[in-house]
A and B are shown apart, each in its own frame.
Chain A
Amino acid sequence: MKLISRWTIASALVASLVVSTGTSVASASDPVDGAGSTWSQIAVDQWRADVARQGLVVNYQGVGSTAGRVAYYQAQVDFAVSEIPFQSAQYDRQGNLLADETQLAASRPYAYLPIVAGGTAFMYNLKANGQRVTDLKLSPTTAAKIFTGQITMWNDPLIAADNPQRVMPATRIKPVIRSDGSGTTAQFTAFMADETTSDWNVLCQRANLGSSCPATSLYPDFPNSGFAAQQFSDGVANFVAAQYNDGAITYVEYGYAKERGFPVASVKNASGNYTQPTAVNVSVALQGARINSDGTQVLGGVYRNSDSRAYPISSYSYMIVPTTEAAPFNASKGQSLSEYIFYFLCAGQQKAEQLGYAPLPRNLVEFGFEAVARIPGAVAAPTIDSCSNPTITGGFLVPKATTAPATAPATTPSANPTATAAPSGASGGNSGNGGASTTGTTIPGATTVPGAVGEPVTQDDETTDGEVSDATGGDAVIATPGVAMATSVEIDTEGSGTSPFIYLLIVVLILGIAVGPPIVAGRLRPSVKQ
């Protein structure tokens, strides 16, 4: 008994020690908890790991945007990450109130701030005369008509009009949508609901959702649509890349197409250029973002950005942060959270491109700073020019106006290789793209930010109309932002590049596991008996 009591005393001592050290650490920086978007999770997790080295504890669970917003207004988490803002009241067809998130969230005042930006790419698998098509161009309307089931053949006149450079094959289009709830779906449907409203409404009607419907994380399907649906970005990308799926097209993050060596469609922007969804083009487009008085994004200026480089289907996800000390939040947590936010808005954005996103441009960083100022206990924001975001330090974006700061020379050395890599046929041919074609290109896997330099673009972009159709030749592997061009890629006809050797290895391994134990047991058993 004495021993036991000694043990209890010892363990109690240890426990109290642990507790006391625990509290002293906690007072230095309180851990903050968040939940939400899986689309943004890769970046959020990377940044969490980065700040953890400085003793800042940020917990995050990728449970989905909707679940994240619910967790926020139910006061289960300190912050949420979501592709779409809190939704206003929704009613079913009988007029029953389904949910009114804005009202539910009103009990816990909040601010929105931009966190991760990205473009939605159209990855496709199409052969014409036995050759893979790699120079597909789509206008937003055509893309919307494809994904609402209004265009079903690749040789449709609308697609042909976008692609005068080639004869489109008479293949059936197989649009591939996400079967699970997804941020990519939310961003693409937000674009369609905003920019190609009449086409989007056709889908709403066909799916029996009324005459119009808002953007959604769950893509609406309708009977006999001819759509295929797959789970996860990986799932849709693999499905499109499958050899038997000639004619398939999906909306997915650019990185997934790059990984598989598949082309993505160039999408027509407001200036009439067909652009690729590179990080640069997305960041350029997002410079047109405006914020509503309630903090929600107005992406019209992004979708219709008149910059010749802008990729139109660009958007960003929100972080929803509390602006009061309502439980479970407090000023101490506010300090931790604001430090985390300043990290990812500035230095963290240097990793955005590597992680498959695009860095937030200066205007969105400033919106973020304003939102942080409303968090209780927030530390003071750094000056915007000391923010080491690549779009602010230069080297990533060339400002469009004449206000190019003296950052350009710093990036000159890296500009030469990219300039030579770009085919003259694609870049030189378009006088209107002079500035754009010398802008940095994105190289898959490149760790350094591609250089960008050249004279600030001063001429207007109207001259580019019609000229882009020339930019079809050339066999550059690197996509030049702002210019629609062919990317000829060597593609393994066997499909998604999975080697039969791996399968063989797995089969041998499984057989080994199956055969091994009985044989070993058989050997052992007689010796045990005798």
Chain B
Amino acid sequence: MTSVADVSEVNLVDETRVSPVVRRSKVDRAYRAVATLSGSIVFVVMALIGGFLLYRGIDALRISGWGFITESQWAPDMGGAFGIAAVLPYTISIALVALFLAVPISVATALFITEYAPRRLRRFLTATIDLLAAVPSLIYGLWGLFYLQPRLITLSKWLADNLGFIPFFEVNEDFGTSLGVFPSSTFVAGVIVSLMVIPICTSVMREVFGQAPPGEREGAMALGGTRWGVVRDVVLPFGRGGIIGGSMLGLGRALGETIAVTLIISPSFDAKWSIVEQGSNSIAALIALKFSESTETGISALMAAGLALFVITLIVNTAASSVVNRSRSGSATEI
């Protein structure tokens, strides 16, 4: 606390030199201190979570050693081997399927709202999309489980039948291609998660596209550019940071999505290329499923898996923010 006060004193001296009229009252200084404290709490919380996961997970990491990264099985409770070699790729593939679907839709939606939609419709669309973000993920999960999945697997079957030569759509021949092979897959989970990601991506992108400099916009128009030309040459290049930032925010959500994924997937512990075949996994879902009946070693192993997810999310977000910072609209995006 004293250090914060010191800093404000120094600033006070500096600024009084520039404009002697400005005086920081006690209230002002107190407000500064509170704001600084709240800002630093974020870092404290991050450090506490990371530290807690490491502290609880270290026992399991000691038992498994490097096997934690190379082992695909998960049986810490019965003295078996355990590792994230299958769970982590599944987690990432669900998130990638979700982004693959969500990003194009979000970009198009954001462009429509900022560039094409009439003013009245714009307000309505913005409210609707924000509302989508407010729907609890459990609702998405239940809707996905009972309504979407039975319908979506017919598409999975079509993909497997017609595009089966692509490893992503291949299914194990032992099981044939009856509809029963396709539920609870990475694809179904990814589609449900994409629905949750779309509103997040869209609102970030909408904000950024809306800030495209009007001067450049009008200039492009004045040079005889079409509306699409303006979008292509002004809005999209300006909004690159927003597209990436929004996608990364969505990726974070997709990697950590728990309940909807837990409801949909049939946990599998052997990694495979196919995204349409039954069997998938996710670290968050694994923790939710195994937590209640795990032994102490099991819980420690789950914490270690959580740590892995935490680290990966940090790396992804740091990488993304460096990309965003280099783009023009970087300052406008929060990531």
Contacts and interface: CB of A to CB of B under 8 A. Distances in A.
Whether both chains belong to one complex is answered with: yes
Interface of A: 38, 63-67, 70, 87, 90-94, 96, 98-99, 172, 174, 179-182, 207-210, 213-214, 216-218, 220-221, 223-224, 226-231, 235, 238-239, 242-248, 495-496, 498, 503, 506, 510, 513-515, 517-518, 522
Contacts of A518: 123-124, 127-128
A64 B176 contact: no
Name B's interface SS. helix
Interface stretch (B73-81, B203-211, B303-311): B73-81
A518 B262 CA distance: 34
Contacts of B279: 228
A90 B146 contact: no
Interface stretch (B18-26, B33-41, B226-234, B263-271): B263-271
B10 interface: no
B80 A208 contact: yes
A200 to B, nearest CB: 12
Contacts of B288: 180
Nearest to B293: A181
9 contacts: A90-B79, A172-B178, A216-B77, A220-B75, A221-B267, A228-B279, A229-B266, A238-B146, A244-B180
Chain A to chain B: the 7 pairs with minimum beta-carbon distance, closest first: A181-B293, A64-B292, A223-B270, A244-B179, A217-B293, A92-B79, A180-B289
B66 interface: no
A321 B331 CA distance: 62
B129 to A, nearest CB: 9
B284 to A, nearest CB: 13
Interface in B22-53: none
B267 A229 contact: yes
A249 to B, nearest CB: 12
B183 interface: yes
Interface in B280-298: 288-298
B120 interface: yes
Given A174-B180, A179-B267, A208 B127 contact: no
B75, B78, B182 interface centre (most CB from chain A within 10 Å): B78
B150 interface: yes
B63 A522 contact: no
B206 to A, nearest CB: 16
A209 B79 contact: yes
Interface of B: 63, 72-73, 75-81, 120, 123-124, 127-128, 131, 135, 143, 145-147, 150, 153, 172, 174-176, 178-180, 182-184, 262-263, 265-270, 278-279, 288-298
A70 to B, nearest CB: 7
Given A98-B297, A244-B179, A522 B81 contact: no
Contacts of B184: 228, 230, 239
Contacts of B63: 92, 94, 96
A66 B131 contact: no
Contact of B289 (A66, A231, A522): A231
A242 B183 contact: yes
Contacts of B135: 510
Contacts of B263: 231, 235
Given A98-B79, A243-B150, A179 B293 contact: no
B79 A503 contact: no
B290 A218 contact: yes
Contacts of A65: 293
Nearest to A176: B266
A123 to B, nearest CB: 16
Contacts of A174: 180
Q: In this complex, which of A180, A214, A216, A217 has the most chain B Cβ atoms within 10 angstroms of its Cβ?
A: A180
Contacts of B81: 93, 208
Nearest to B86: A223
B77 A218 contact: yes
Contacts of A180: 288-290, 292-293
